[in-house]
Amino acid sequence: MTRRPSFEHLEAAYQLHFYLCFKTHYLRPVFGSNEMQTALQAAVDDVCNRHGYHLLDIQTSPDHVRLLVSLKPDQTISRAVQMIKGNLSRQLSRDHAEILVQHRTQTPWAEGYFARSSGKADLSTIRRYVEHQPDHHGYRGEWTSALTHINPLFRSPAYTFDHCVCILGYHLVLVTKSRTPVFDDDIAPRLFEYVIAIGNKRGFAVESLGVALDHVHLLIEARPDVSIADCALSLANNTRQWMEKHYWGALKQTGCWDVWQPSFYAGTVGEFSTAQIRRFMGQS
């Protein structure tokens, strides 16, 4: 049997929100004046517009700035932070060098950053939704217990770094080609084990997997240098090859050789919803 070509690109429906916080060097009050806070906000607007980041909200203080940004699936947090902080440093050093001299620093920013995902609903709500997929789809019987799997080794944060704190959670959905009912209670447990193995190699950690006959839901945490588009593409390509190898008969019976639609849904999730983050920023 000839191996089918891999997906090169997947279309996406998405809502990806991230809360970022940058602190000044040694917490010096570089942005203590209204003039500097206005300049900072204008510079953030300019950087986000030039690099294709959607700035949802901003809150400035003398020694830090909080941002709420929306990214595209192929954009990574590490690259976005690099672009925002780097461009802000250059602009502020060029236009307000005297302020940096006044505060005895050559750069406005401390090393590192804080990044946390948020979404339309909070993590506990999405977690219950993923873990109750059999009930949601009206499946009944003991066999349905094999359709939901929680990774006993998963701990959040899944990744730790020396100079930043990143907790980037995603709800990811892949749908079978033409909504063909491919999966069952025999395939689901082995699929879960294989998905965990993919994540270990590709920079994301799997918290849980909910399987329906024609689609799967995943909760994952990813590294800041890994985009959700790359996660979805690696999952689609690797699981399709795995299905060809281990469940060729199921694909032959259903005619679903591609396994997946060339698309996915991704939404960020976090301990707090985006609405809660915005209220927090407004009150700070």
Q: Which superfamily, per CATH, for 15-117+275-283? A: Transposase IS200-like (3.30.70.1290)
Q: Is 66 a residue whose pLDDT tops 90?
A: yes
pLDDT, averaged across the chain = 95
Q: Is the pTM of this model over 0.85?
A: yes
The mean per-residue pLDDT over the stretch 142-169 comes to 96
- Which residues make beta-bridge pairs with 150? 208
Question: For residue 237, what are its two tokens?
Answer: 């390509």
The conformation of residue 3, written as its DSSP 8-state character, comes to P
Distance CA 189, CA 145 (A): 10
pLDDT recorded at residue 4: 77
Q: Which of 91, 26, 14 is nearest to 63 (CA)?
A: 26
- Per-residue pLDDT, averaged over 182-195, amounts to 97
The mean pLDDT of 178-189, rounded to a whole number, is 97
Does residue 276 surpass a pLDDT of 90? Answer: yes
Fold of 120-273: Alpha-Beta Plaits (3.30.70)
* Beta-bridge partner residues of 171: 219, 267
Mean predicted confidence (pLDDT) in 213-224: 98
Q: Could you tell me the residue ranges of all domains in the chain?
A: 15-117+275-283, 120-273
Strands 113-118 and 164-167: parallel
Fold equal for 15-117+275-283 and 120-273? yes
CA nearest 152: which of 234, 93, 207, 84?
207
pLDDT digits (tens, 9 = 90+) for 95-133: 999 998 998 988 899 999 999 999 999 999 999 999 999
Residue 185, pLDDT above cutoff 90: yes
Instruction: Name which of 208, 166, 189 is nearest 246 in CA terms.
Output: 189
